[in-house]
Amino acid sequence: MDDVKCQGYEEKLTDCQYASYDDCEASEAAGVVCEDGGSGATGGVLTSDGELLFSRDGRGLKINFHLNGTNFDFKVNFTSVDGGEEESEKSLARLEAGDFCLVQGYTVSSRYDSNDYDELLALSCDACSEQATCSYAKKLFNEVDWRGDGEIQEKGSFHKMIVAVGDANRDRVVDFDEWFTKLKSYVTAAFEALDENKDGSILDESKEGNILTSIPYQFFEELLDQTFDFFDSNNDGAISLEDEIFFDTFRDRNGDGKITLSEALGTNLISLPAPIYNFYNKLDRDTDERLTKAEALDFLSKLFTLINADDSDCKIDVDELLQLLDELEVPWDYQLAVKMLLDQELTLVSHLLKNLVERADKDEDGEVTIEEILTFGDFEFIESTIQAVPYLVSPALPGISYLVTPRCSRDCREAGEAIVAMWFTALQHLMEKPIFYSAGEATHSCTNAE
């Protein structure tokens, strides 16, 4: 049995991935010493109570290991007897059950040869390996870190985008800590948006399996904030082609040192289809090619007001969206396709969240906090979800296709143009709504509502 790779949720060692042959050498050996109470043992001893006891015979021995980002040093004490030095074996440290783990990676130092303390070679702690969020974040990071040196550098547009967003210390690279910190900020923002009663838990919101069947205004506000946080890389309060995240994506065609929307699109804005141009004018009100957060929030507020037929609940649902589509004269069959698509996908996500949240309540106190979400450790549930989701999502694909793809056997160009014209007409009707002609910035009544 060699090259054993465990995820942490296996019930026994043989459940892990491993090779049935081995090429082991002494440098690859690893082991754990277990003994009840830890009496008479050396090295790291795992007691029957689940505690970890350190003790060792040795002169001037110093043991160092890494635990949750902090280095801990332990030394053997010596006593002087009748002018001579006497060794005394004493406990170097005791870690309570749950405060440590026995996984790969270690750091040990001593003035003696490493063979003197080989009992500790299997000891270290990597809390990330026991937490699904951190573990999968690390796997994704390793995929993006194609150099394998623990840093994402500005090589290519995609990597530059990551550095622009995640480089907290401005050293032009993103390490795993920065990557994971950014990811946690997104998870926390989503958690806070879903926590409607603001009690620090989303168990009540998710327990019926309908957490996303109606979506509150605050969720869209938070989504807008995160969008600006991601794209506004120069932190000037606006999204524009001047942001570093767009560097190398578009070409300065006239060489004046500035990239305009016309250059990025390859055509003058006035030449765009009328619904698209009107949409741009309603979104970027001063048409300065810089979308400020105030402009985006104004557009969001007006659009939400149009959809939210019952403006007292500060939420929108599928039926309210369909009512707007009907006002925009979208054909009935396309409305039905939208309903079937959203009903299925929102129900799927809501039930996935329900099952995840229920499993995250480790202490069974009837609350699920952001800390419990971030330290979620049920890898078996995550793996089963990853396998199931593609099959559960696939029935929605025909609905998406129906909304954008012409249904024809020959001469499909005309049918395709008809679909585009239908959606452009709906967009034009939307932009002609009186609310988009109102002066000033709209402030929705649901903003920061409790």
Among 146, 103, 96, 147, residue whose Cα is nearest residue 127: 103
CB of 216 closer than 8 Å to CB of 132: no
Phi-psi region of 88 (alpha: psi -120 to 50; beta: other; left: phi over 0): beta
The more confident residue out of 436 and 126 is 436
- Residue that the structure tokens 């199931």 belong to: 388
Domain locations along the chain: 31-126, 269-437
Query: Span 294-303, mean pLDDT?
Result: 93
Q: Per mean pLDDT, which of 80-89, 250-259, 334-343 is the most reliable?
A: 334-343
| DSSP letters spanning 213-277 | TEEEHHHHHHHHHHHHHHH-TT-SSEE-TTSGGGTTTS--TT-SS---HHHHHTS-GGGS-HHHH
CB atoms within 10 A of CB 175: 19
Residue 65 has pLDDT above 60, yes or no: no
Chain segment 372-413, per-residue pLDDT in tens: 999 998 888 999 999 999 999 887 788 888 999 888 877 788
Share of the chain above pLDDT 90, in %: 38
Q: Which of 214, 216, 215, 213 is nearest to 347 (CA)?
A: 213
| pTM tops 0.75, yes or no | no
Q: How far apart are CA 139 and CA 351, in angstroms?
A: 25
pLDDT in tens, 191-240: 998 998 899 999 999 988 888 888 989 899 999 998 998 888 888 899 99
pLDDT at 110 over 50: no
Q: Which residues share a beta bridge with 80? A: 85
Runs of H (alpha helix) within 361-448: 370-374, 379-393, 397-404, 412-431
Residue type, 286: D
Residue-level pLDDT at 76:
36
**Residue 31 confidence (pLDDT) above 70:** no
